[in-house]
Chains A and B, each alone.
Chain A
Amino acid sequence: MYTTIDGFKPGLDVNGPFNPYHPKANAFRGYNSMWLGWSKNHLTDPNQFYPGIAASWDIAPDNSSITLHLQPNNKWSDGKPVTAEDVRFSIGLAYTQGSTAYSIDPSASGVASDIEVIDDKTIKVTQSAENPSVTFVRGVMETFIVPAHVWTGVLPADFWDKLKTARGDGPEAEAAGAEITGLAEKVLTFAPPKDVSAGPFVLQRVNPGEALLVKNKNFYNAANVAPDQVKFLNYTGNEQIWNYLVAGKLDNAPFTAVPADVMKRITQTPGNGVARGFSPVAVSMAFNQSKKPYDDVHVRRGLAHLINREEVTKIASPEGGVAAATTSGMHQRATEAWLGAEAGSLEPYKVDAAKAEEEFKAAGMKKADGKWALPDGKPWKVTINAPAPFSDWVSGAKAVTSQLNEAGVDAEVVTVADYPLYLEELAAGKYDLGFWLTALGPAPYNIYQRLYGPANGWELLAGKLKHHAPGKNGNWMGSPETIDVEGLGKVNPGELAVKLNSAPEAEQKAIIGQLAKAANQDLPVIQLWDYVNTQFINTSRFTGFPKDEHDSLRLTSGVWLQLGMIKKKQ
């Protein structure tokens, strides 16, 4: 028996369907819910995967197509073989949801245009030539594969013809497109009568306290899957996970924010250990440049010079974060991997009150009685927003406001009850400054979309880049369309960011260098800390867990189990 928790969603739902598209599904990624392949989240190469439903694949050199070879001996838990037809059907389902690689619009970035079943175990997916993207392969790999024989009837018989029609022009295409997106709800709510899994495990039962999965004897690598059963424990908050860990109940727990003292207590439990690795995420404070005085780069730089990132990280995320070396828009590890020595030339924004004063003065800010005020003499209050359930962000925001207050900048934290509401208000431009996840990789295209993408006004529409005015169409960051970057001249960062989509690797490096410089000088955000993927493992019952820095640490332990990495302790 292997015990863990589902890191993707708190709270088990007894009535959750066996439908990976359902938000409350009893589908556990890597256990009874499978993708074609599992991304290694490599620092510079987004096309590296561990095998999943696919045993191997050939990617065309220009990313124009991927040919997938399925595991030859893989069977569903009900005994039927996993075939290319299952994959094709699953891709059909994905089209109804409009997920990354499967948009009906052929001019959207990195979408599949043609799906060809070559034989029972081989399938080829071709990328639309209109707007190719490096993200295409990953988009295909991360397709949920479900059994066509169980889901039959969810898609109409003429689905593929409809899709073809929808890709064309004219009213017919629109009608067909509407019909396909109209299926989204049907797919989302479909509930198969029982779990039929092509993964290493199949769900046996769920109660409010735990979900029990048993080994799928038909899984291609079943002989090497160590545990016969897997138990998922229910949790609704981090503190429950801490208690499970302290009690030594979990063989693995994915990244969980942990206070220092709790970490100490957890590691005292016999068998408990920690594996740390790279996590392509950083947290930043993002400015809304439509609001004064944040439209002035000197104000942003001045604030950056007042924030002690080491101290903020120590208070907010002592176990799961490393203070950002600077603001580049990327995780420091990715910055170094892409830029090498060039990374050192970025301004580090060390804590420096004198420099901050210089910057504020350059912005025309006035200081009276030790307090900074706006150029027109009106009081200035920096309001930092954060979602209340993220305790690390809240304490980080508080630490920043304390530092600013001590430096004579009036500052406060305002929290919002939940994360979806927070994102909604943030996108509506209600905040001056808000916490914002950045550096979400591994593809550099995705990384820079966080800074110079839709949230900042650049939107890719039908293959053409359009810049929306601040405050319009979801542009809440409101950077100017072109910025003056020292040593580069005027650049349009949105344009550069989109180029990352299709540029060959050598060219990508140059573009990333420019974007890092632009982000570093213009500071649309102040990067606070880079996350460290801190995983908990317990070696009392199982061994073979990935070591520090292993690329599989960024995948669920279901993937470790299905690849046969984990062994029973002898």
Chain B
Amino acid sequence: MSVTIMPEAGGAHATLRRNFWRGVWRVMKRKPSRLVGVVIMAGFAFMGIAGPLLYPAQLPRDTDALYAPPSWQHPFGTDFEGTDVVALVVTGSQYVLLTAVITAVITVVLGTGIGLFSGFKRGRWDTVLMRVTDMKLTIPGLPLLLVLSTVWKFSAAFEMGLVLGLLGWGGVARAVRAQTLSLRERGFIEAARGLGLSTTHIVGRELLPSMAPYIAMNALIAVTGAVYAQVGLFFLGVLPFEASNWGVMLNTAVFGGGALTTTAALPYLMAPLLAILLLTLGIVLVVDAMDEIFNPRLREE
């Protein structure tokens, strides 16, 4: 019997995949805003990877045009030193986005790992891990980061991402554990257990796929959280100066350029703000699409 089933199963798989992408396309098409979200995210990804390559290592500056108003040459004007603000936003995106991605990966891997293990094993392991998680959740993030920044300069995106990731996995762990606890009592897991399938199979093939959309959405939300957190830290001026860092740009625009008092430094303030806003918008739109793709109940036909 298995001889006849196998090819069928393979075919069914391929069909499923085809159906999945068709579904994705349908979901996207129904609300074009979601397509916009994908384009925005692709744009940011491109900017993060290739952006710095588009400019010379030393950004040109024009000291006769400090805080220059917007023009065709400088769509968002220039900064305190006469450097094009757009060039700063583009070259600065790498650090911000890389940090955000690293944070998201660490948050999701740690959060999912601990949540799954805890929820699936239950018992003593669950108690210990969840107390650790609770403890972690009680640590206030920003004050801790402020203290850490006095001893650690976070000059590499990896360091920043690592710390933000280590601070952020608590919520994901708790939620994944809850999901695991609920799913493990469902029929299909019972059936898998009854069939004598290995734990690896049950976790990897049965549990994880059901939670994948939830985890993926958490990853994207972690990205926005990481962007806010690091930009906030740089804005407060507690982290080292890097002219193209978005947070530093906000800081110098407000405290050095007087962007909240007069208009000269306003474009300099707006550029990184708009970048953050756009990135958040892109993520929200994509999350919205993902939600519908993975959650059949939301699918309106």
List residues of chain A with CB under 8 Å of any chain B CB: 237-239, 242-243, 246, 258-262, 264-265, 311, 314-315, 386, 388-389, 391-392, 394-395, 397-399, 402, 405-406, 413-415, 417, 421
Contact = CB atoms under 8 A, between A and B. Distances in A.
A398 to B, nearest CB: 6
Nearest to B63: A311
Contacts of B81: 315, 395, 398-399, 402
Interface residues of B, number: 29
B254 A239 contact: yes
B149 A417 contact: yes
A391 B66 contact: no
Contacts, number: 88
B241 A388 contact: yes
A314 B261 contact: no
Nearest to A242: B261
Given A237-B255, A398-B81, A415 B237 contact: yes
A259 B240 contact: no
B150 interface: yes
B241 A417 contact: no
A395 B80 contact: yes
> Which of B66, B82, B261, B262 counts the most A-chain CB atoms under 10 A from its CB?
B261
Contacts of A260: 66-67, 264
Given A261-B67, A388-B237, A399-B81, A394 B256 contact: yes
Interface string B153-177: 1000000000000000000000000
29 contacts: A238-B255, A239-B258, A239-B260, A258-B258, A259-B67, A259-B256, A259-B257, A259-B264, A259-B265, A260-B67, A261-B264, A262-B261, A262-B262, A262-B264, A265-B262, A311-B63, A314-B63, A314-B66, A389-B237, A394-B241, A395-B252, A397-B241, A398-B80, A398-B81, A398-B241, A406-B58, A414-B240, A414-B241, A415-B239
Interface of B: 58, 61, 63, 66-67, 80-82, 149-150, 153, 237-241, 243, 252, 254-258, 260-265
A39 to B, nearest CB: 31
Contacts of A243: 260-261
Contacts of A388: 237-238, 241
A239 B261 contact: yes
Nearest to A405: B58
Contacts of A415: 237, 239-241
A448 B240 CA distance: 31
B32 to A, nearest CB: 41
Contacts of B252: 391, 394-395
Nearest to B241: A415
A245 B258 CA distance: 13
Nearest to B59: A402
A395 B255 CA distance: 11
A239 to B, nearest CB: 6
